[in-house]
Amino acid sequence: MITRQLQKDIEYIKNEIISKQPNGNYTKFSLVDDFIAFINEPKEKSYKYWTSQYKSSEEELDLITKTLDEKFKNGLTPIEKMIKYIQDARWEPERDRAIKYLKGELK
């Protein structure tokens, strides 16, 4: 059975703004909060967070894992668009560092 919370989390994952950096790690931007949620994180960290929420149900865990697989395979935000989100943020102390990672200037 798919709970309301699971449906909400699946939609959240599908709509996340995540870009892959040239070094293979990821940057995430939050439109809700208008700031960078993380920089230079491995995708395994996202998997660990989301799968830890659904350990008790194999069916729910499978759905979350498939949603994450699809997000990281086909749902990433292009780097140029991510840079624009970051540049347009009202206040972002990590702006320069994030852009350098996205452009491959930092590893």
> The whole model's pTM is what?
0.90
Centre a 10 Å sphere on the Cβ of residue 91 and count the other Cβ atoms it contains: 7
pLDDT digits (tens, 9 = 90+) for 44-62: 999 999 999 998 999 999 9
Query: pLDDT tens across 65-107, in order?
Result: 999 999 999 999 999 999 999 999 988 889 999 999 999 999 8
Q: Concatenated DSSP letters for 9-32?
A: HHHHHHH-EEEE-TTS-EEEEETT
Element (H, E) at 40: strand 35-41
Q: With the CA atoms of 49, 98, 94 and 41 taken in that order, what torsion angle do they form, in degrees rounded to the nearest 10?
A: 20
User: Using N-to-C axis directions, what is the helix angle for 79-88 and 95-102, rounded to 10°?
Assistant: 170
